[in-house]
Amino acid sequence: MQRIEEFVDDRQKSWCIHCGRSLTGLDTNDDHVPSKSLLSKPRPHHLPVVTICRECNTNFSRDEQYAVTFLSCVLSGSSAPEHQSNASAARALTASPGLRALIEQSRTEYTTVGGQKRILWKPDAERINRVVVKNARGHAYFEWGEPLLDAPVHVWAFPLASMPSEQRSEFEGAGEDAGLAVWPEVGSRMMSRLVTGADILDGWVIVQPGIYRYSVDESGGLRVRTVLWEYLATEVLWES
């Protein structure tokens, strides 16, 4: 715990956790973990904040806008602004016909043998993955107290409902084995201070119920898992 205590009291580190550059002399932004646009209003208070370089922040903003809007379209089954339950997705679709066209192009409809209409969406995986890794870095930083500047060993994002049941129960039981034993105390102390209204449930930190949860454990490396909007499951693994 000592490392976490020291870290919480001394949060202003001198480098950008995403690009590793020294922040001295660079324009910076305060960035929330997880990204605010992924959450619903009213957002939880006291979200962890990390200072990052403005260049990273600007690049992430574009990817985040895409990821949030894409997810919102998938969940609503439409790219029409008026059908979105996420306000920032609705705004982005209205403000950017280009973004709407891009997302619309990734949508295909087909009819099942039984005559049902189904929709498939093909995301820009690189952009989604950049957002996934960005948030995972933030969670790892706050839970672990150190930046992970290396590239992760793997990154994936997959709809929860499309997972085979065995894979899903393994995913949901994040850190159930040896891994989680390292984390509960950290989680309970961190969360009571940093994420108001959040709680640990079965090894997951609930940032906002139904909207965002994550877990960090040390199973074969440092592993960060998130579930966005109870739809998208993600996992990022760094070698320890």
The residues that touch Zn ion, with contacts defined as CB under 5 A, are 16, 18-19, 53, 56
* Structure token digits, residue 230: 């109870």
| Dist CA 128 CA 133 (whole Å) | 9
| Dist CA 60 CA 181 (whole Å) | 33
Q: Which is nearer to Zn ion, 31 or 143 (CB)?
A: 31
Shortest distance (Å) from residue 13 CB to Zn ion: 12
Buried/exposed code over 43-60 (b: 16+ C-beta within 10 A; e: otherwise): bbeebbebbbbebbbeeb
Q: Which is nearer to Zn ion, 53 or 67 (CB)?
A: 53
Shortest distance (Å) from residue 59 CB to Zn ion: 9
| Dist CA 150 CA 19 (whole Å) | 10
Q: Which is nearer to Zn ion, 19 or 101 (CB)?
A: 19
CA dihedral 50, 30, 134, 205 (to 10 degrees): 60
Shortest distance (Å) from residue 1 CB to Zn ion: 29
* Structure token digits, residue 52: 């990052």
Shortest distance (Å) from residue 53 CB to Zn ion: 3
Q: Which is nearer to Zn ion, 18 or 213 (CB)?
A: 18
218 burial class (0-12, 13-18, 19+ CB within 10 angstroms)? Answer: middle
Shortest distance (Å) from residue 60 CB to Zn ion: 9
* Structure token digits, residue 82: 């008026």
DSSP state of 94: H
Asked if 156 contacts 47 with a C-beta cutoff of 8 angstroms, the reply is: no
Shortest distance (Å) from residue 149 CB to Zn ion: 10
Q: Which is nearer to Zn ion, 18 or 139 (CB)?
A: 18
Shortest distance (Å) from residue 86 CB to Zn ion: 27
Asked if 151 contacts 222 with a C-beta cutoff of 8 angstroms, the reply is: no
- Please calculate the CA angle 16-18-19 and round it to the nearest 5 degrees: 75
Q: Which is nearer to Zn ion, 56 or 174 (CB)?
A: 56
Q: Which is nearer to Zn ion, 56 or 148 (CB)?
A: 56
